[in-house]
Structure 1
């Protein structure tokens, strides 16, 4: 059965540029490569879910400017244009500098959309009959989280580079979410300790995922299960931009479809690892059938244990 999923957050026009770090000043310099595409956390998550077969309802802000024309054209091509898209004066744009080993330094310019007041009634209309709300931690989504938590629909969030469970900014999402993902990059504790603290602090959270970069990913359930899946990159690593979004979105698709967190995390790691081999991983995704074939041929090491012992 097709799952109905609302995705709220930023969609940006992004340029990825292949460079050598450290970047030294020069009046002009030829990059190793340049690739342009439509991304932003909500844009990438929506594209992955759509390719996997979900009914995706995108709630975002797109400007009336030149980048906005490109964003709208691409969203229309992907079948993601709908009543949840609000017109603004300007669009969000960004640049990612990418090293030869795939590491990236992102420069998201979110100011044009940060001040937009997104209508709650529009989000509520998009959420009609929805199975899941993916509320990214974009600034204009923050005021929607509290009212959305009263709709009775599970909420998922990726809080990305979080370092403080009591931080003021991310608190509304952490208080409302059933599924919480993040990166381990700035965690003050080992991931196993972090998920325990997360469950203790926020009773609504049932599933906690942590992206571990080159070490794969970890997932904990409130019931005590701890899953680790080792990283894989069947096409090599070209650009790590958007890897966390791919991990998060793919997990949500399979978990909402099957309720199996172990298989869902494994498929998410496989999909994210495959996307690392593209110059613009944001613009290419696998279908469920393609992902199943890849999973069978590149089965990553998966370890299941407990975090509550």
Structure 2
């Protein structure tokens, strides 16, 4: 059954450049190994994942009246994600990603053009009507929407990415309001298992917590005490890890919304993310529900189930 899911946040026009190594050595000119352009940004990628998996997605974002905006609008139209939730701004957000042969990437997101936009609450509330889930990314223009959205009675999900502190002032509205909270392991001050334990202790509204572990897979926990660790799988060669966390998060939400089974959700999420990073432009490639199910059966990731807090 299709779920109605609202996704709020940045949609950006990205250029991805294949380089030889980090650090990048200076040269007046240099031919990249490869180059790809297209629409990305956390909200754009998550929305595309959910749409491909069969959900009814309502995208709330800001797109500029510029050349990048025209490209974004065209691509969102092709993906059936262009709807009344798109607000027009003067300039679009954009970015550049450098990618080495082993798939490591360094991103340069330019969100300043949309950070100062005030997204209309009435428009967001209308998009949230009859929604099953609100995916509210931690983009700056979404921040003022979070606390009012928590009063709508619809579950909120967020990925706070490179968070370092449970008391982080910027992310506080999301931490206090979300029922599903994901993040990356890269900047955590403690182990991922201890992090989720402390997250549940501090934020009683949170029901499910997840941590992306990069090449080690992912971890998820429920408030009831279940702790799941799923190892990474890479069905193909690793080419570009851009957006792996968004793929993990979006796929988890799709399966969770349909089943409320965190084990199945995390296994599917790890498989989908592992498949996507085999593409030069992972954002543009997403599996359907049927394709993901078949791939998961063929590449079932090793899974350990335990308890947190023990």
Per the shorter chain, which TM-score range?
over 0.9
Which whole-Å deviations, capped at 9, do the CAs of 1:21-47 have from their partners, x for residues lacking one?
A: 221111100011101110100000000
Q: Cα distance, 1:274 vs. partner?
A: 0.2
What pairs up with 1:57-136 in 2 under 5 angstroms? 57-136=58-137
2:272 aligns to what?
Answer: 271
> Which of 22-31 and 179-188 deviates more?
22-31
Which whole-Å deviations, capped at 9, do the CAs of 1:123-172 have from their partners, x for residues lacking one?
A: 00000100000000000000000100000000000000000010100000
Q: Cα distance, 1:231 vs. partner?
A: 0.2
1:198 aligns to what?
Answer: 199
TM-score by length of 2: 0.99
What pairs up with 1:10-25 in 2 under 5 angstroms? 10-20=10-20, 21-25=22-26
2:5 aligns to what?
Answer: 5
Q: Distance in 2 between matches of 1:269 and 1:11?
A: 23
Pair 1:188-2:179 in alignment: no
Which whole-Å deviations, capped at 9, do the CAs of 1:100-119 have from their partners, x for residues lacking one?
A: 11010000000000000000
1:155 aligns to what?
Answer: 156
Q: Distance in 2 between matches of 1:204 and 1:28?
A: 52
Which whole-Å deviations, capped at 9, do the CAs of 1:210-255 have from their partners, x for residues lacking one?
A: 0000100000100000000000111111000000000000000000
1:283 aligns to what?
Answer: 284
2:143 aligns to what?
Answer: 142
Q: Distance in 2 between matches of 1:22 and 1:175?
A: 38
Q: Distance in 2 between matches of 1:308 and 1:29?
A: 52
- 3-state SS of 2:151 partner: coil
Q: Distance in 2 between matches of 1:2 and 1:51?
A: 11
Q: Which runs of 5+ in 1 are unaligned?
A: none
Q: Distance in 1 between matches of 2:14 and 2:41?
A: 8
What pairs up with 1:197-216 in 2 under 5 angstroms? 197-216=198-217
Which whole-Å deviations, capped at 9, do the CAs of 1:229-285 have from their partners, x for residues lacking one?
A: 000111111000000000000000000001111011000000000001000001000
Aligned residues: 309
- 3-state SS of 1:32 partner: coil
Q: Which runs of 5+ in 2 are unaligned?
A: none
- 3-state SS of 1:163 partner: coil
Q: Distance in 1 between matches of 2:214 and 2:103?
A: 11
Q: Distance in 2 between matches of 1:292 and 1:166?
A: 38
- 3-state SS of 1:123 partner: helix
Q: Cα distance, 1:308 vs. partner?
A: 2.2
Q: Distance in 2 between matches of 1:146 and 1:195?
A: 22
- 3-state SS of 2:249 partner: helix
- 3-state SS of 1:48 partner: helix
1:37 aligns to what?
Answer: 38
Q: Distance in 2 between matches of 1:278 and 1:11?
A: 20
RMSD: 0.5
